[in-house]
Amino acid sequence: MALGAGDTIVALSSGRPPAAIAVVRTSGPRASALAQQVAGSLPPARQATLRRLIDPTDGNIIDDALVIRFAGPHSATGEDVVEYQCHGGRATVDALIAVLVRESGVRLAEPGEFTRRALANGRLDLTEAEGLADLLAAETDLQRRSAMVRAGGGLRVRLDRWREQLLSLSARAEVAIDYADEEDGSLDNDLSGALGDLSTEIRMLAESPRVEPLRDGIRVVLAGPPNAGKSSLLNALVQAERAIVTPIAGTTRDVIEVPVSISGIPFVLVDTAGLHESDDEVEAIGIARARQETSSADILLWLGAAEATPVHERLIVLLPKSDIPRDEASNHALPVSSHTGQGIPELSTKLVGLALKLLPRKDEIALVRRERDLLAEASDALARAASLTDPVLVAEELRVARTAIDRIAGRAGVEDLLDTLFGRFCLGK
């Protein structure tokens, strides 16, 4: 989470897609150059200009968007800022952000980083920031406490134990360095077993359920060839005419997301364009997005041929249009018919069953992404340490792991604090 101040940062600064319009904001020294690459030429400052956004690496069209450029220091952050107002589908937004952050020196903004840059560059009224700070300081503390008391203090107990273990492993590595000439300095230099075990243990928590699915809904992506009946199935599941359902292959050109609650569990059903090669340019973009959606699915519903089934951790293979008689039958596929409603209750049950595995149980620790990332960082450092022999490098990796664990508990320095503090500001404000 260390921030290089010279980086150009990117974030979605409007609400969570899908929405009619999404605003993606970039700020930093590379912002203008990026706009030139993606939008073809640099629009005049402070004028909303319609541009076709193109992925510079393959020439694919991302979207048509309004591009507005603010030259620093007269911008919200005091740096060069470029805003892209594009269509608000998740796939469009994701594609644009993916293209932007691919450039070197460009990365996703940390929470609140725009605000922080504004403050650093004197663009934010300090009295205003201070007014917010009282509130924020309280909130930060509350958030920290809430993280600590989550699941009856289960997280804190584990973090404290790991911290102890890390300190004791560090001590064993350090003694070999600072007391090399003494007996104790030459004792048990082989920490790799203990390091590996701890890495695995931390990894297991890092891979435990996230809070986000609970908050944002579990993403169920319907995928399959054109006209496989994805939109009809989606409609049957929502029991509402949300997607355009026509018998012409290739109607759903963009990705459609529909939030729905099944047995009280929040889902987001995602209808993708049919997966096949297409000459139609717009549809081609839709297909590219569909592939992307498939990979980001929490649960994947496959409506295509059994032999073309994609690999996915949580996959339900369906035999759609089961009301239409046909020759081949799959043993594993669940027959469903949007028309007759056959198989829909079974599908719902299956979805709920898979969802329950994704969501935290009542007594289980749920982590936000930041915590998971830090745990993964600690686990990675320990895994590396386990493979090293130079005690100095082992100790260094242990230090990295310790710092990561400390950051979760809010024990670390001002930077981390400010990340948390400013993280309370709305992203991209």
Extract the annotated binding site for (6S)-5-formyl-5,6,7,8-tetrahydrofolate. 25, 83, 123, 429
Q: Which stretch binds other proteins (CB under 8 A): 69-77, 106-114, 303-311, 408-416?
A: 408-416
- Closest to other proteins by CB, 272 or 420: 420
Decide: is 178 part of the binding site for other proteins (CB under 8 A): yes
Rounded to the nearest 5°, which phi and psi values hold at 317? -90, 125
Phi, psi of 332 (to 5 degrees): -90, -25
Q: Is 28 helix (H, G, I), strand (E, B) or coil?
A: coil
| 400 makes contact with other proteins (CB under 8 A) | yes
- Binding window for other proteins (CB under 8 A); candidates: 47-55, 291-299, 321-329, 409-417: 409-417
- Provide the CB-side half-sphere exposure for 200 (13 A, CA): 7
Q: Does 421 bind other proteins (CB under 8 A)?
A: yes
Count Cα atoms within 13 angstroms, Cβ side, for 44. Answer: 2
**Min CB(383)–other proteins separation in Å:** 15
> What part of residues 113-142 is at the interface with other proteins (CB under 8 A)?
119-120, 126-127, 129-130, 133-134, 136-138, 140-141
Whole-angstrom distance, CA of residue 273 vs CA of residue 280: 12
Closest CA to 372 of 407, 348, 337: 407
Q: Does 105 interact with other proteins (rule: CB under 8 A)?
A: no
Beta carbon of residue 243, minimum distance to other proteins (angstroms, whole number): 46
- Which range binds other proteins by CB under 8 A, 73-81, 151-159, 243-251, 416-424? 416-424
373 scored as a contact of other proteins (CB under 8 A): no
**Looking only at residues 316 through 345 of this chain, which bind other proteins when binding is defined by CB under 8 A?**
none
Please tell me the distance from the alpha carbon of residue 418 to that of residue 119, in angstroms, as a whole number: 12
The number of beta carbons lying within 10 Å of the beta carbon of residue 256 is 22
358, two tokens: 């994704």
Number of residues counted as binding other proteins (CB under 8 A)? 46
Q: How many CB atoms lie within 10 A of CB 49?
A: 15
| Beta bridge mates, 63 | 53
Q: Is 160 in the site for other proteins (CB under 8 A)?
A: no
Q: Token pair of 351, please?
A: 């979805």
CA–CA gap between residue 325 and residue 428 (Å, rounded): 53
Return residues touching other proteins (CB under 8 A). Answer: 2-5, 119-120, 126-127, 129-130, 133-134, 136-138, 140-141, 144, 170, 174, 176-183, 390-393, 395-396, 399-400, 410, 412-418, 420-421
